[in-house]
């Protein structure tokens, strides 16, 4: 078991009023699964991802991640769970703009206290894994969108996390780059990495072995969800479920999304949040490969 959400509720305060955003959500994810969570804009996908990613806590209900009861964890404990056990991939990559691909990928290892030599080695291995061995010393501005996302994926897997958690990983990519990212997720999952991916695109969701739908804060099983993982795989092989997924998408389209879904304050990535920590408390430790530190390079997060 990677994690289990049981009867989760999440409210946001609007003035003094509690606005329910997630309603009675239960979801268990086992080792080696590949789950997509779909839903229209404003349905609560990112709110759910923030909870699964231990970036935010539920209002009510129980959430156990890799044996830990998240509700009772301190911020420090949550931060180490995030760094050690979860690899994050976001729509907008969230790379440090002035650092090379290699430096970006080394970052989680830096937090984990891994020696410089090991960091280098592991980061190179992760970049090779995503097919970017010839771009290690490039900075994000020198990379295409697809390449940037592959750097972000290398950063997400460099620690060998328990879970790869992606929020709209192809949202900012052209079709071809999106396909490459999906191919990479499939390979990683075939290698045993557990993947939970949030998307509103049916074509992307169908790359997963199990699809869940969130509508108006409620989670529903999708076409693949009824069966076991093996069933899902068999189903995928014998009868592509694209039509079904598209039908579902048509249904979700009918649900009026809020005109302007508000993005809450929880948009800071884990990396950025931890970086904040380091900048505030342990700046001298934050050295990059060329011996410089973040502040001198002028990276203001």
Q: Under the rule (CB under 5 A), what is the footprint of Mg ion?
A: 45-46
Query: Residue 3: enclosing H or E segment and its boundaries?
Result: strand 3-14
Q: Using CB atoms within 10 A of its CB, is residue 301 exposed (0-12), middle (13-18) or buried (19+)?
A: middle
CB closer to ligand ADP out of 1 and 19? 19
Torsion angle, alpha carbons of 234, 236, 238, 241, to 10: 140
CB closer to Mg ion out of 106 and 270? 270
38 phi and psi angles, rounded to 5 deg: -105, 160
Please give the Cα distance from 138 to 220 (Å, whole number).
42
Q: Which does 183 bind (CB under 5 to 8 A by kind): Mg ion, ligand ADP, none?
A: none
Contact pick of 39, 108, 169, 202 for ligand ADP (by CB under 6 A): 39
Size of the site for ligand ADP (CB under 6 A): 16
Q: Which does 127 bind (CB under 5 to 8 A by kind): Mg ion, ligand ADP, none?
A: none
* Footprint of ligand ADP on 233-272 (CB under 6 A): 258, 261-262, 264-266
Q: How far is the CB of 33 from ligand ADP (least distance, A)?
A: 21
**What DSSP letter does each residue of 268-279 carry, written as one string?**
S-HHHHHHHHHH
CB closer to ligand ADP out of 11 and 66? 11
Q: Which does 258 bind (CB under 5 to 8 A by kind): Mg ion, ligand ADP, none?
A: ligand ADP
CB closer to ligand ADP out of 92 and 292? 92
Q: How far is the CB of 61 from ligand ADP (least distance, A)?
A: 16
CB closer to ligand ADP out of 61 and 131? 61
Neighbouring residues of 191: CB distance < 8 A, sequence distance ≥ 6: none
* Footprint of ligand ADP on 180-219 (CB under 6 A): none
Measured in Å, how far apart are the chain's first and last C-alpha atoms?
Answer: 35
Query: Residue 198: enclosing H or E segment and its boundaries?
Result: strand 194-199
CA neighbours closer than 13 Å in the CB half-sphere of residue 20: 11
CB closer to ligand ADP out of 201 and 236? 201
Q: Is 44 in the site for ligand ADP (CB under 6 A)?
A: yes
Sign of the CA dihedral with 200 first, then 206, 209, and 215 last: positive
Q: Which of 136, 61, 62 is nearest to 99 (CA)?
A: 136
Contact pick of 4, 6, 9, 12 for ligand ADP (by CB under 6 A): 12
Q: Which residues bind ligand ADP (CB under 6 A)?
A: 12, 21, 39, 41-47, 258, 261-262, 264-266
């Amino acid at each position: 078991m990677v994690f289990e959400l049981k009867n989760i509720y999440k409210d946001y305060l609007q003035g003094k009023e509690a606005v329910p955003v997630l309603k009675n959500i239960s979801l268990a994810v086992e080792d080696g699964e590949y789950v997509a969570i779909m839903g229209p804009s404003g349905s609560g996908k990112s709110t759910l991802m923030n909870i699964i990613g231990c970036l935010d806590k539920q209002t009510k209900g129980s959430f156990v991640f890799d044996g830990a009861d998240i509700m009772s964890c301190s911020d420090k404990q949550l931060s180490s769970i995030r760094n050690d056990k979860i690899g994050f991939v976001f729509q907008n990559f969230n790379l440090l703009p002035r650092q090379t691909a290699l430096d970006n990928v080394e970052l989680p290892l830096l937090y984990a206290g891994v020696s410089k030599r090991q960091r280098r080695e592991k980061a190179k291995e992760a970049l090779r894994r995503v097919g970017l061995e010839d771009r290690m010393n490039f900075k994000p501005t020198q990379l295409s969108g697809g390449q940037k996302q592959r750097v972000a994926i290398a950063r997400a897997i460099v620690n060998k996390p328990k879970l790869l958690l992606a929020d709209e990983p192809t949202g900012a990519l052209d079709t071809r780059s999106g396909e490459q990212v999906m191919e990479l997720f499939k390979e990683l999952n075939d290698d045993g990495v557990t993947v939970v991916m949030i998307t509103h695109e049916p074509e992307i969701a169908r790359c997963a072995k199990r699809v869940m739908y969130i509508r108006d804060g409620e989670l529903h099983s999708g076409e693949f969800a009824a069966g076991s993982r093996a069933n899902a795989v068999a189903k995928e092989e014998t009868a592509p479920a694209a039509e079904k997924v598209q039908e579902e998408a048509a249904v979700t389209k009918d649900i009026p999304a809020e005109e302007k879904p508000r993005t809450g304050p929880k948009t800071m990535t884990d990396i950025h949040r931890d970086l904040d920590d380091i900048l505030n408390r342990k700046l001298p430790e934050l050295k990059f490969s060329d011996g410089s530190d973040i502040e001198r390079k002028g990276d203001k997060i």
